[in-house]
Amino acid sequence: MKTLFTFYIDSSIDLITNSSSELFVFTGDTKRKVSAMIRKFHGNYLSEYHSLKRTNELSLDELDWYVQLRTSRWSNERQEDVYTLLPGFTDEEQFRTVPHSWREGVVVKYPRDVTEENRERYVKALDPDGKLYFLWSRDENPNWDIQEKLMTIGVRYHLG
């Protein structure tokens, strides 16, 4: 007996690629020390990644993206959204709530946008000691073997 499956494809690109960009977040005393740690695993890391940035050097978009990554995620284990309230913020200040589009009675929280007005507040809440450093990939799919090594010294965020 044979079974026929029919798939409707949005894009042929979906079939041939699994491209992704990456963000690594490291903790360290100075940019020089963090860069030296990274170079132990990838001597020419600037070929695949942008220069390291401190939290206060991130653009509004980068900071906004990181806030979303840090404060809102899906938990497979719990089968629900998990939200993290940053120090110094109330739930209403940090999140806006929206009814879920197809799960009746469920509310989804979205981090409020980072703006020039609240930027410093987010920077202080995320990195009060100024020890976080951000490494964004230049293009999609940086070397996986290097990523695995970098995950031993930093936190990897798969950006899709």
Note the pLDDT tens digit of each residue in 52-65. Answer: 999 999 999 999 99
Note the pLDDT tens digit of each residue in 82-126. Answer: 899 999 999 999 999 888 878 788 788 888 899 999 999 999 999
* Residue 79 backbone phi and psi in degrees, to 5: 55, 50
- Tokens 């970098």, residue? 150
Token code pair at residue 9? 């494809």
Question: Within 13 Å, how many C-alpha atoms sit on residue 117's CB side?
Answer: 3
Q: Which pLDDT score is estimated for 7?
A: 55
Question: In angstroms, rounded to a whole number, what is the distance separating the alpha carbons of residues 133 and 125?
Answer: 15
Note the pLDDT tens digit of each residue in 18-62. Answer: 558 899 999 999 999 999 999 999 999 999 999 999 999 999 999
Q: Which pLDDT score is estimated for 118?
A: 96
- Buried (b) or exposed (e) across 101-117, using 16+ Cβ within 10 A? eeeeeeeeeebbebeee
Is 0.85 topped by the overall pTM?
no
Q: Are 109 and 89 in contact (CB under 8 A)?
A: no
Question: In angstroms, rounded to a whole number, what is the distance separating the alpha carbons of residues 129 and 74?
Answer: 28
Note the pLDDT tens digit of each residue in 119-153. Answer: 999 999 999 999 999 999 998 888 899 999 999 99
Q: Which pLDDT score is estimated for 5?
A: 60
Q: Are 55 and 63 in contact (CB under 8 A)?
A: yes
Question: In angstroms, rounded to a whole number, what is the distance separating the alpha carbons of residues 111 and 101?
Answer: 17
Question: In angstroms, rounded to a whole number, what is the distance separating the alpha carbons of residues 47 and 59?
Answer: 21
